[in-house]
Structure 1
Amino acid sequence: MSKTPLVLALLTLIGPLTATIPDASAQGRVRGHAVVHGVDGGRAAATRAAGRGERGAYVRGRNVLSDGQGNAAGRSGAYAVGADGGTAQRQGSFYRNADGSAGRQGSASIDGAKGGGLNTSGSIARNANGDVSGSRSTSATGANGNTYNGSTTVQNGVVTHTRACTNAAGEAIACRGR
């Protein structure tokens, strides 16, 4: 299926939505959603939202495209900034194929206004036979300088997790939790 007509129609519909995002001095929120149906059963959809208020501002969006044959794919993302200056963002994507295979990947990060932060990313996939594999890695730093680095993988039904923690001087310390 040619996705070009669907994508062009979708862009035509959502173009005005992006122009309605409030400027820096505005207070409030705006949302928009558009769907285009193709003659072959495919569909393209887009959602956008943005807002600003006393506690900060955000913008987020999502696109999904399907072809009417059981295949679909999409992407999403968001960004927020707090009134105190901290920021957070995330992004992700997914796919699903007619043969039963599917997958998802995503990442997120946080930068605290008073120090500290977090980065995480991962993916998981299922093949047409139903076998699942994936991984996630996370690193975090507290405002006091302590760090956590962890990794989780799943392969052939076996889950493995490793982690390490350090203090602000880089010395190994015990990780709390499980």
Structure 2
Amino acid sequence: MSRIGKKPIVVPAGVTVTVDGHKVTVKGPKGTLTKEFNKNLTIALEDGHVVVTRPDDSIEMRALHGTTRALIHNMVVGVSEGFKKVLNLVGVGYRAAVKGKGLELALGYSHPVIIDEIPNITFAVEKNTTIIVEGIEKDVVGQVAAVIRSKRAPEPYKGKGVKYADEVIRRKEGKKS
């Protein structure tokens, strides 16, 4: 049995969950998320908890059971608290600035790197070198942070580049003379 899939999802105060067959809508203070799930899984709202059950123990249903529960839990957390990723710029002259609702990065190239506005995502910059990506969809926040990091991934010799705040860069020793 799936340990994750069996756990009920607690719906906090201020969040409403609507289940319409296989379509789940979650409304909260930060916004609204709607997602469709597999028709074979049963999603029910029982006294303040969302419960996901599967019809049989086939490999496909076991895989979808925990995944569906995790996705619904992320929707509930997203509309109530939101998700955020913190990135740090390491390097001389590396800096970031919010331009409108987009982001402008100076990463050592001859031109600025522009990240356009993305729906439901907000950018914040602290001290010109710390970027905070916030939003209600966990996968979108992670993808946007990964795209920003890919513009100048950290290198192992000096550690320069864009890195996650909790990331540890394995450093290499330079040439021996």
Q: Same fold (TM over 0.5)?
A: no
TM interval, shorter chain, is under 0.3
TM-score by length of 1: 0.26
Higher percent of residues as strand: 1
Which structure has more relative contact order (CA 8 Å, sep 6+)? It is 2
TM-score by length of 2: 0.26
